[in-house]
A and B are shown apart, each in its own frame.
Chain A
Amino acid sequence: MTLRHPQHHPSDETLLRFVSGSLPAAAALVVSVHRDGCPICRETIGHFEATGGALLDAVEPAALSDSALDDVLARLDEVEPAPSLQPAQAYREPFAPGLPLPSALRHCEIGNWQRVTPSLRIRRIRVPDAPEERLLLMHIGAGRRMPEHGHTGTEFTHVLSGRFYDHLGRYGPGDLEEADADIEHQPIVEPDEDCYCLAAVDGRMRLKSRIGRMVQPLFGF
């Protein structure tokens, strides 16, 4: 799709939470999609995993039961059970026009398009092991703006195609915007192209305007 390297990345703190497994599942999927297209973040993740490995190697060993090793040795020839998670159903319609389903989302069920406002459509993405979490594919028309909003948690937005900007910066394909809880912003899509992005919120979204609050239940945030 593009040879451009991502310019905006998850914070180190987010990547550390991703590596240690403490990032909520929906946010971790958004980071996974970004990582798959970002050599810089793949390298940082490698560093953080190496840190985890060094910490593991350095911890005080705990005593095991006497049979712990023999029990495992006796199981080495067992056939490995097949993974219970299979790729979700094949999609009749594309994930988004001209965009393949990101491989990190291959286990997710993806809902139908819903119109939220004249300029915004969404597809809900069901995170298989965390169905209560919200992950959205958003489609915002060229030149249109999102409702101004803040969040009670960090919002992670990964651009799949098109470009948007807000007071934090300009974001294009492969970029990930991380907006902290204390940030209120109103992303505006550049006029030349529609924007498709993935969004997860670690917490709930707070919409500022009355219209915004009316559409909030539709967002599901």
Chain B
Amino acid sequence: MSTMAMGDDPLQPEQQRHLVEAIAERSDREAFAALFRHFAPRLKTFFIRTGMRANHAEELAQETMLKVWRKAASFDAGKAGVSTWIYTIARNLRIDQLRREPPVALPDEDPSDIAELPLSAEDILLAAEREQLVRTALQSLPSEQADVVRLSYFSDKPHSEIAAELGIPIGTVKSRLRYAVTRLRSSLDKPQ
């Protein structure tokens, strides 16, 4: 079976959620394979952009997906979309790799979330709406701001190195990031 995801239509957020639910509810391997085909190649890109070699990035993409399988039951659609949830798993794995130990700073569950309330359709809708707003806001950023945001998420580089890479002063990196974050925030805070 080819695991190349290129050429396939990317999974939409709602499809992603149904796949994770199928894994959580009935250990559905086909659902897992579909999710893998979408996310594993993107995770590999994500890890490569953080400075890993391709083979190491692929291993970590596989480890991330293994965690997705094991943790599917703890996925909370009222809190975040699937891509956000997988992002946090990948991010924590990368921190582990950097520090060679499991994460302490970024637990997957907030202690405040332990008392689980039944998930309403409205919760899921709100979380999905937020994800959509973020996507739209990201697309609307001017490219020089989007570059700084991307480098801030995908690399460990301090602002001084990002500045050197882009050939701009460090103050400009900070002001672009601040401006981008303000725009992202205002798009999220504003009810549409």
Q: Does B18 lie at the interface of the complex (its beta carbon under 8 Å from any beta carbon of A)?
A: no
Contact between A52 and B91, CB atoms less than 8 A apart? yes
Residues of B at the A interface (CB closer than 8 Å) are 1-6, 10, 13, 29, 32-33, 36-37, 39-46, 48-49, 54, 57-58, 61-62, 65-66, 69-70, 79-88, 90-92, 94-95, 98-107, 110-112, 130-131, 134-135, 138, 149-150, 152-158, 174, 177-178, 181-182, 184-185, 188
* A71 and B86 contact, CB distance less than 8 A: no
Query: Whole-angstrom distance from the CB of A40 to the nearest CB of chain B?
Result: 11
How many A residues, CB 8 Å from partner?
60
Write the nearest CB–CB distance from A145 to chain B, whole angstroms: 31
Q: Min CB distance, A220 to chain B, in Å?
A: 20
Collect the chain B residues with CB atoms within 8 Å of residue A61's CB. Answer: 5-6, 41-42, 44-45
Q: Given A16, A29, A58, A75, which contacts B104 in the complex, CB threshold below 8 Å? A: A29
Complex: A182 Cα to B112 Cα, angstroms: 36
A64 touches B58 (CB 8 A): yes
Cβ contact of B111, chosen from A20, A103, A130, cutoff 8 A: A103
Give chain B nearest CB distance to A27 CB in angstroms. 9
- Given A20-B152, A54-B131, A75-B66, answer yes or no on A62-B101 (Cβ-Cβ < 8 Å): no
Is the Cβ of B178 less than 8 Å from the Cβ of A13?
A: yes
**Chain B, residue nearest A105 (CB):** B104
